RNA sequence: GGAGAGGUGGCCGAGUGGUCGAAGGCGCAGCACUGGAAAUGCUGUAUAGGGGCAACUCUAUCGAGGGUUCGAAUCCCUCCCUCUCCGCCA
């Protein structure tokens, strides 16, 4: 959420920065509401102060021996009553304005950082790094062809169990998924990340706090009876891990790594990526998350991205890093690097991690602050996949495919998977 | 699902209508004492919003919302949550 003070004092900045995202907003009405709200607050609190004085006066008079029904006391009591009525009128107006203001502010995305390049679509993203030697020989299979041939998952039967865009991993496929989760968690905890396994049903406040609600309700699965939603990413529960907390500055940064299943409705993506592991309603992901000091967040963003890249490098998967443009960064993000892995079967790079700095955007929505000396202020949050498991498996299958039809796995995975090869069984 | 108990500051815990943002303790910070420390003593120590250059000051907040009252942590209503026991269950 954007800062109300910024709205009051410098709405031009908001208009300008949202403009970089391709949005055209007119904030004059909202700014007026914000100012009215503050005026009302002042009137109301002055009235309340007077009411408090009267209350004390009445108490003192009665204690001093005056009869509660005596004319002097009665006069004050009636004055108090009138003030109470005025206050309740003002309070209601104020509340209406507050709700309106908040509702609107909640729908605005984060302001991009200066570093985020201007642009409209993903075509304007900037490649900033490339690693590894992509395989480009012809006649390579796509991951779903390999997986079906080797019996790593069930597609038709998954529809029977659930519906389309769900997958059932089988045998070595299930084992590889499990190996990847363990491998990534171990890699990150070895660097000091604290492992978290949170609830994956989360309440509305959690989803609002990280920015998925109110705007993107149609993207999440909901358990209507219970005010609970299936989490679309571990970013949601981890953000709320410290919701409404004040953290001592010397404890920062807090770095977490979390494996969770993730659930997305993928509304509006009919017909895209219908085969295989690329786009599913349910998928596994290992997520990296930092709570950090505002002055350290830029540095943290680089480090978090390097930590995600370390997984790709350990798995010997060629990738590139993109700096997303203002038109392509997510709702809560101020700056984002996407990591794209090379899929030789598909012949393209594919997003496998998205590493974002959210500034104080989520912290304000979730009231997560830190205390340094006497001052309490909002901290910064960052998140990034480290990595999406299903897409990692797809990449391993396509990059490791051999002429004999088997798949060669990177050495780093052998201790977890128990073999360096997946062959037909 | 059945029965009961309870939600007060970073923590514990007192407080059943007025001077209570809230005793006391713990913790924490500063100062004193000390060669240094412990112990001890003194002082300070919530959050949000508004006003002021500042000292400071006003308002709100004792789970949430509503009500009674001139005045509510304290009385009334509704809701939420937590804990204990029983049942069921991975």
Calculate the average pLDDT of chain A.
93
Dig out the tokens for A399 from the structure. 């990059």
Helix H or strand E encompassing A65: none
DSSP-derived 3-state class of residue A159: helix
Of A363, A93, A106, whose CA–CA distance to A214 is shortest?
A: A106
| Residue scoring higher pLDDT (A147 or A242) | A147
Question: Is residue A51's beta carbon less than 7 angstroms from any atom in nucleic acid strand B?
Answer: yes
Question: Is residue A81's beta carbon less than 7 angstroms from any atom in nucleic acid strand B?
Answer: yes
Residue A364 scores a pLDDT above 80:
yes
What number is the average pLDDT over the span A5-12?
Answer: 90
pLDDT at A66: 84
A246/B56 CA-to-C1' distance in Å: 26
Number of Cα atoms under 13 Å in the Cβ half of residue A343: 23
What number is the average pLDDT over the span A249-270?
Answer: 91
Residue carrying the six token digits 């599913």: A280
Whether A38 is catalytic is: no
Which of these is catalytic: A266, A351, A372, A406?
Answer: A351
Question: Is residue A59's beta carbon less than 7 angstroms from any atom in nucleic acid strand B?
Answer: yes
Whether A175 is catalytic is: no
Residue A224 scores a pLDDT above 80:
no
Q: What is the DSSP letter of A123?
A: G
Which tens digits make up the pLDDT trace of A31-85? 999 999 999 999 999 999 999 999 999 988 888 888 888 888 999 999 999 999 9
Interacting residues of A414 by C-beta distance below 8 A, sequence separation 6+? A420
Whether A139 is catalytic is: no
Of A325, A279, A423, whose CA–CA distance to A124 is shortest?
A: A325
A201/B4 CA-to-C1' distance in Å: 30
What number is the average pLDDT over the span A178-185?
Answer: 98
Question: Is residue A6's beta carbon less than 7 angstroms from any atom in nucleic acid strand B?
Answer: no
- With contact defined as beta carbons under 8 Å apart, do A392 and A138 qualify? no
Strand arrangement of the beta sheet that strand A254-263 belongs to: A126-131, A319-323, A335-343, A348-357, A380-388, A282-292, A254-263, A194-196
Helix segments in A250-354, DSSP class H = 297-314
Interacting residues of A271 by C-beta distance below 8 A, sequence separation 6+? none
Q: Which nucleotides in chain B lie less than 7 Å from some protein C-beta?
A: 10, 18-19, 46-51, 58-60, 67, 69-71
How sure is the predictor about A205, in pLDDT bands with cuts at 50, 70 and 90?
A: confident
A42/B51 CA-to-C1' distance in Å: 9
d(CA A332, CA A349): 24
d(CA A2, CA A363): 10
Angle formed by the axes of helices A172-189 and A297-314, to 10°? 140
How sure is the predictor about A179, in pLDDT bands with cuts at 50, 70 and 90?
A: very high
Number of Cα atoms under 13 Å in the Cβ half of residue A350: 25
Which of these is catalytic: A279, A316, A320, A406?
Answer: A279
pLDDT at A322: 98
Which of these is catalytic: A21, A44, A264, A369?
Answer: A264
Bridge pairing between strands A194-196 and A254-263: parallel
Of A156, A200, A31, A170, whose CA–CA distance to A101 is shortest?
A: A31
Q: Which of residues 86-115 of A touch strand B (CB under 7 A)?
A: 88
Is the complex ipTM higher than 0.85?
Answer: yes
Q: What is the DSSP letter of A220?
A: S
The b-or-e profile of A334-349 (16+ CB within 10 A means b, else e) is bbbbbbbbbbbbbeeb
DSSP-derived 3-state class of residue A321: strand
Residue A116 scores a pLDDT above 90:
yes
Dig out the tokens for A293 from the structure. 């000091």
Question: Is residue A165's beta carbon less than 7 angstroms from any atom in nucleic acid strand B?
Answer: no
Dig out the tokens for A204 from the structure. 């509305």
- With contact defined as beta carbons under 8 Å apart, do A254 and A193 qualify? no
What number is the average pLDDT over the span A328-347?
Answer: 97
A374/B33 CA-to-C1' distance in Å: 27
Which tens digits make up the pLDDT trace of A279-326? 999 999 999 999 999 999 999 999 999 999 999 999 999 999 999 999
What number is the average pLDDT over the span A192-206?
Answer: 91
Which of these is catalytic: A354, A356, A366, A385?
Answer: A354
pLDDT at A52: 92
Q: Which nucleotide is nearest to A59 (CA to C1')?
A: B18
Question: Is residue A63's beta carbon less than 7 angstroms from any atom in nucleic acid strand B?
Answer: yes
What number is the average pLDDT over the span A103-120?
Answer: 94
């Amino acid at each position: 959420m954007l800062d109300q003070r910024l709205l009051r004092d410098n709405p031009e900045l908001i208009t300008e920065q949202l403009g970089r995202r391709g949005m055209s907003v007119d904030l004059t009405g909202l700014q007026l509401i914000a100012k009215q709200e503050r005026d009302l607050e002042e009137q109301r609190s002055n009235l309340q102060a007077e009411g408090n004085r009267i209350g004390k006066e009445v108490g003192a008079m009665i204690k001093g021996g005056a009869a509660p029904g005596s004319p002097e006391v009665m006069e004050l009591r009636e004055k108090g009553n009138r003030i109470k009525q005025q206050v309740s009128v003002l309070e209601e107006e104020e509340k209406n304005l507050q709700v309106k203001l908040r509702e609107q502010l909640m729908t605005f995305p984060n302001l991009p950082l200066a570093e985020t390049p201007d642009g409209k679509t993903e075509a304007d993203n900037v490649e900033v790094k490339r690693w590894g030697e992509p395989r480009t020989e012809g006649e390579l299979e796509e991951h779903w062809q390999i997986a079906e041939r080797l019996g790593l998952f069930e597609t038709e039967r998954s529809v029977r169990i659930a519906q389309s865009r769900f997958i059932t991993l089988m045998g070595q496929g299930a084992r590889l998924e499990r190996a990847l989760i363990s491998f990534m968690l171990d890699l990150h905890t070895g660097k000091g990340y604290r492992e978290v396994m949170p609830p994956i049903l989360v309440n509305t406040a959690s989803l609002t706090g990280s920015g998925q609600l109110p705007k993107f309700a149609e993207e999440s699965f909901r358990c209507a009876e219970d005010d609970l939603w299936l989490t679309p990413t571990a970013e949601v529960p981890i953000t709320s891990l410290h919701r409404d907390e004040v953290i001592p500055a010397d404890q920062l940064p807090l770095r977490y790594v979390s494996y969770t299943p993730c659930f997305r409705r993928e509304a509006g993506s009919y017909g895209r990526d219908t085969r295989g592991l690329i786009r599913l309603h349910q998928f596994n992901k290992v997520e990296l998350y930092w709570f950090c000091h505002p002055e350290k967040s830029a540095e943290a963003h680089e480090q978090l991205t390097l930590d995600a890249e370390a997984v790709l490098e350990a798995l010997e998967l060629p990738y590139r890093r993109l700096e997303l443009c203002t038109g392509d960064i997510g709702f809560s993000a101020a700056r984002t690097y996407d990591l794209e892995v090379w899929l030789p079967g598909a012949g393209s790079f594919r997003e496998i991690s998205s590493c974002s700095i959210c500034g104080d955007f989520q912290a304000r929505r979730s009231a997560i602050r830190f205390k340094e000396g006497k001052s309490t202020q909002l901290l910064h949050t960052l998140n990034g996949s480290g990595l999406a498991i299903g897409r990692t498996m797809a990449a391993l299958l396509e990059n490791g495919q051999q002429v004999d039809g088997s798949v060669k796995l990177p050495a780093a995975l052998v201790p977890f998977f128990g073999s360096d090869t997946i062959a037909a069984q």
